[in-house]
Structure 1
Amino acid sequence: MPARPRTLLAAFAAAGALITTTLFTGAANASPATATVTGTGSTADDTTDDTAAGRKVVGYFTNWGVYGRNYHVKNIETSGSAAKLTHINYAFGNVTGGKCAIGDAYADYDKAYDAAGSVDGKADTWDDGALRGNFNQLRKLKKLHPGLKVVWSFGGWTWSGGFGEAARNPAAFAESCYGLVKDPRWADVFDGIDIDWEYPNACGLTCDTSGREAFTKLMAALRSKFGTRNLVTAAITADGSDGGKIDATDYAGAARYVDWYNPMTYDFFGAWDAKGPTAPHSPLTSYAGIPKPGFTTDAAITKLRSLGVPSSKLLLGIGFYGRGWTGVNQSAPGGTATGPAKGTYEDGIDDYKVLKTKCPANGTIAGTAYAKCGSDWWSYDTPSTIAGKMAYKNRQGLGGTFFWELSGDTADGELIKSIS
């Protein structure tokens, strides 16, 4: 699928982000040894049942959000979102040189928070070896919510080009990832790893030719290294079209090694097609006139299930943002446009918290909402349409819900509260 806001380095730069790619490959021996396994996923290491179908609520938190967006770990608490979440996916770590690597050292573990900005009201210290940044704030958040788990996500749209090299030596890649995730400075922060490879044996920002089995071998190596007491998950394509990106990879074969998949059931359509036709970026079902068959949530879920991926290992994806065009003359989907609508950080996209006021939804189609304001046309999910998607999730017996991403919600967590 086309580029999403979550991984554009240009957005980082605009926000004044400090991007580093410091590699960490040591400290793998700091945690208990892991056994080679070929089972069906994590057994979980506390009283939280990670395998219970339907209950998972997974929200992405972006390390670059602490810059221009001014969204911090403390906001997860003050919005009420922390109490609703079962898991946080921390995005993103880099994939380079065949290894997992730090994405932004400053935001991740060096940025100092004062008392007012800290989750627990206590300022960070500059003591030798003291952990700071998002990692320390996540540690504090977990102390307030003992059942909450944090998974470190690697790759994304911009950094998925590194997976091809990683797939040439899956064991070495897994070793590097384990060493980084379980680094003794923050080993207690993370409960596992999430892989966001866009897309195995298919084209995203770059085209990958690693082969149909590469993803399975990579996930098997990660499960072997991380063992059954850590979570291993993956964000995957939701292209349910015939011969599309799901068909390019053996997602069913790899499913035995993951706790769950996050099919990215959003960004199906957007203003990268500058002239339209306008279409909702996250349709639940098909509708007459949809620009491309198979680009719906239901098509993706149905296809993955038909291939043998268990329903309980599939989470329903929600976007906490909208996509829009300008130069549009008709309210209903299918109109022509002249380009992307103006957005706060990037044209063609904006947060729900902005759109609900800037361009309130005035129509629904295929289980999601759209809005026409002047010559601008936007599509996004609302509490009402999310409720409908939750009903679908329950009918399908899916393992839960995930969303991109926390900073797009209102200050009081309007969207996450609609996820049941």
Structure 2
Amino acid sequence: MRFRHRVAALAACLSLPLAGLVGLASPAQAATSATATFSKTSDWGTGFGGSWTVKNTGTTSLSSWTVEWDFPSGTKVTSAWDATVTNSGDHWTAKNVGWNGTLAPGASVSFGFNGSGPGSPSNCKLNGGSCDGGSTPGDAAPSAPGTPTASDVTDTSVKLSWSAATDDKGIKNYDVLRDGTKVATVTGTTYTNTGLTKGTDYSYTVQARDTADQTGPASGAVQVRTTGGGGGEPGPSGKVNLGYFTEWGIYGRNYHVKNLVTSGSASKITHINYAFGNVKNGQCTVDDTFAAYEKAYTADQSVSGTADTWDQPLRGNFNQLRQLKAKYPHIKVLYSFGGWTYSGGFGQAAQNPAAFAKSCKAVVEDPRWADVFDGIDIDWEYPNACGLTCDTSGPAAFKNLSQALRNEFGSNYLVTAAITADGSSGGKIDAADYGGASQYLDWYNVMTYDYFGAWANTGPTAPHSPLTSYSGIPTAGFNSADAIAKLKAKGVPSAKLLLGIGFYGRGWTGVTQSAPGGTATGAAPGTYEAGIEDYKVLKNACPVTGTVAGTAYAHCGNQWWSYDTPSTIAGKMTWAKNQGLGGAFFWEFSGDTANGELVSAINSGLK
């Protein structure tokens, strides 16, 4: 299927001179008026995201559209969606694709692109005519204001200041945008935003409007976190570095909370998701009580170096996490419910979100371990879509559940969710209201891995965690960049998105071709499950032989594996920072080496 972004103008709009009457339209369109406006949806210094919106303002249907503009030298489109974009030098042309060319009166459509360079579009034409229906030719839009600075930050307010924009006709006023939505229009270059939520992250930009009511490009963004709240603060880099600790890992994997200390990982992470609590009968419940709070640890196994006693009120992983937090006070711990195996219970939970949320808080705040957990994470695989089982709760169920959790837990707890990274058209991201739900959540753990694997037992071989698309990728939209872009387009703030890293590889056997795209005869053997193996094993058993789409692959004998390495993780972290993401998370600790080299790579990459 063709990959489509439903791009919304989330950030400052630069309304470029565009058109009333479409002068070069076909006879059937001669009376049709249309406009085109440009929005700069994101900016990471060396590049930016952009969106054009074409609107039929006339009384007859528009059967096709073509938008043209000029970029200054050094600025160009690097990728685009929902339009066919070409260029001749610095002149760029975008034509509708098959499904979005027809516009009824009053209808509009958007297409988006990523660009490099500092410039903004100019000299726009729509179907050969002007783009805004009557701006004076040559009347330039205002420049971008300076990036705001934040001061006087409190629990509920922040003061913003910025340097003035310039314009040939003079500046009329400024729009202040919070997380892409206009919150105020002011005539000066300062604004104090009140009524905010304590302990919450916000992103602010500013755009100028001239006396002809033309708006210029958005300023750079300033990230602000209000004071107060019980949420876990990110590390010194300002980014989240979160790892999953599996409840069952203490058995066959022999991985315990103390391993976070001996590996050096505890000092480099900011958060831990404890996985998984179960969802039964529409309620949260502890899964393995022995592992969670009954298992006795000897002195040499314990984080504190003190042996558990038979009569102490809390033992097991929960007590070890309590000891870890005492030793590393910066770490916040969230209790994660669901996962691949236990997501079947969310459908019933969605029928009574308030009761579900109440049950979850009762588990998290159990008096025996109330000091251990700083929040809750919901890993629903997948709302209104199919995972191990199929859910039919409807597109609003996830938002309703998220709202109920926030209402129950309040602002003093973290409330997060692990979500699909299916960026395909009509895929799992489209199945639920992730944009609407994001207002209630601190962040999303976007599961940007497991795109491809030996469940397709004859191949083609493909990396399970590609950062970007590549020539020959088996499914369009199955990569991190497309998933993140789609979530942003649905209104999720960049700072609420964490990039997912797998500490394992996926592989096939019976493969003769080294490069991706080869055929196979089945899943490669693995320690615990065919087709999957820990990084700590693969780095020596099947060393990397190549890279593709920002990740690594390895061909050894007749096996073919893909997995991330410290080097590819460094590249992914640079990309995450350039995208303005809130950080990264990984699944899961026990796949790393004894000295925690993958955790270290994420930590270093986020600085």
Q: Could you state the TM-score of these two structures normalised by the residue count of structure 1?
A: 0.89
Deviations 1:366-407 (A, max 9, x none): 000000000000000000000000110010000001000000
> Which residue in the other structure is 1:216 paired with?
399
Establish whether residue 115 from structure 1 lines up as the match of residue 299 from structure 2: yes
> Which residue in the other structure is 1:393 paired with?
576
> Which residue in the other structure is 1:284 paired with?
467
The amino acid that maps onto 2:242 is V
Q: 1:349 to 1:138 in 2, by over 3 A?
A: same
Residue pairs, 1:15-414, within 5 angstroms: 45=229, 49-50=233-234, 55-127=239-311, 130-414=313-597
**8 Å CA contact retained: 2:534, 2:592:** yes
**8 Å CA contact retained: 2:461, 2:519:** yes
Post-superposition offset of 1:103? 1.2
**8 Å CA contact retained: 1:41, 1:231:** no
**8 Å CA contact retained: 1:41, 1:259:** no
Deviations 1:41-80 (A, max 9, x none): 7566469535998510000000000000000000011100
**8 Å CA contact retained: 1:40, 1:259:** no
Post-superposition offset of 1:130? 1.6
The amino acid that maps onto 1:290 is I
Q: Say which structure, 1 or 2, has more relative contact order (CA 8 Å, 6+ apart).
A: 1
Distance in 2, Cα, partners of 1:263 & 1:40 = 25
Distance in 2, Cα, partners of 1:375 & 1:46 = 51
Distance in 1, Cα, partners of 2:535 & 2:228 = 33
Distance in 2, Cα, partners of 1:278 & 1:104 = 36
The amino acid that maps onto 1:285 is T
SS at match of 1:254: helix
**8 Å CA contact retained: 2:199, 2:228:** no
The amino acid that maps onto 2:262 is T
Distance in 1, Cα, partners of 2:589 & 2:388 = 24
Q: 1:38 to 1:193 in 2, by over 3 A?
A: farther
C-alpha RMSD of matched pairs (Å): 1.7
**8 Å CA contact retained: 2:231, 2:414:** no
**8 Å CA contact retained: 1:409, 1:415:** yes
Distance in 2, Cα, partners of 1:272 & 1:40 = 45
> Which residue in the other structure is 1:18 paired with?
none
Q: Could you state the TM-score of these two structures normalised by the residue count of structure 2?
A: 0.62
SS at match of 1:69: coil
Distance in 1, Cα, partners of 2:247 & 2:230 = 27
Distance in 2, Cα, partners of 1:54 & 1:237 = 24
Deviations 1:98-134 (A, max 9, x none): 100111100000000000100011001112x520000
Distance in 2, Cα, partners of 1:253 & 1:184 = 33
SS at match of 2:301: coil
**8 Å CA contact retained: 1:276, 1:336:** yes
Distance in 2, Cα, partners of 1:176 & 1:385 = 41
User: Bigger CA drift: 300-309 or 40-49?
Assistant: 40-49
Distance in 2, Cα, partners of 1:239 & 1:52 = 31
The amino acid that maps onto 1:89 is N
**8 Å CA contact retained: 1:41, 1:258:** no
Distance in 2, Cα, partners of 1:371 & 1:147 = 37
SS at match of 1:107: helix
Which structure has the larger Rg? 2
**8 Å CA contact retained: 2:231, 2:412:** no
SS at match of 1:415: helix
Q: 1:183 to 1:311 in 2, by over 3 A?
A: same
Post-superposition offset of 1:260? 0.1
SS at match of 1:94: strand
Q: 1:47 to 1:351 in 2, by over 3 A?
A: closer
Distance in 2, Cα, partners of 1:49 & 1:117 = 29
Q: 1:48 to 1:97 in 2, by over 3 A?
A: closer
Structure 1 segments unaligned to the other structure (5+ residues): 1-36
More strand by share: 2
Q: 1:40 to 1:340 in 2, by over 3 A?
A: farther
Q: 1:39 to 1:268 in 2, by over 3 A?
A: farther
The amino acid that maps onto 2:427 is G
Q: 1:81 to 1:413 in 2, by over 3 A?
A: same
**8 Å CA contact retained: 2:343, 2:381:** yes
Distance in 1, Cα, partners of 2:354 & 2:520 = 48
**8 Å CA contact retained: 1:361, 1:370:** yes
The amino acid that maps onto 1:372 is H
More helix by share: 1
Distance in 2, Cα, partners of 1:50 & 1:181 = 21
Q: 1:368 to 1:246 in 2, by over 3 A?
A: same
Post-superposition offset of 1:362? 1.0
Distance in 2, Cα, partners of 1:403 & 1:191 = 19
SS at match of 1:116: helix
The amino acid that maps onto 1:177 is C
Q: 1:40 to 1:388 in 2, by over 3 A?
A: farther
Distance in 2, Cα, partners of 1:86 & 1:61 = 13
Q: Percentage identity across aligned positions?
A: 69
Distance in 2, Cα, partners of 1:125 & 1:44 = 37
SS at match of 1:85: coil
Structure 2 segments unaligned to the other structure (5+ residues): 1-194, 201-226
Alignment length, in residue pairs?
Answer: 383
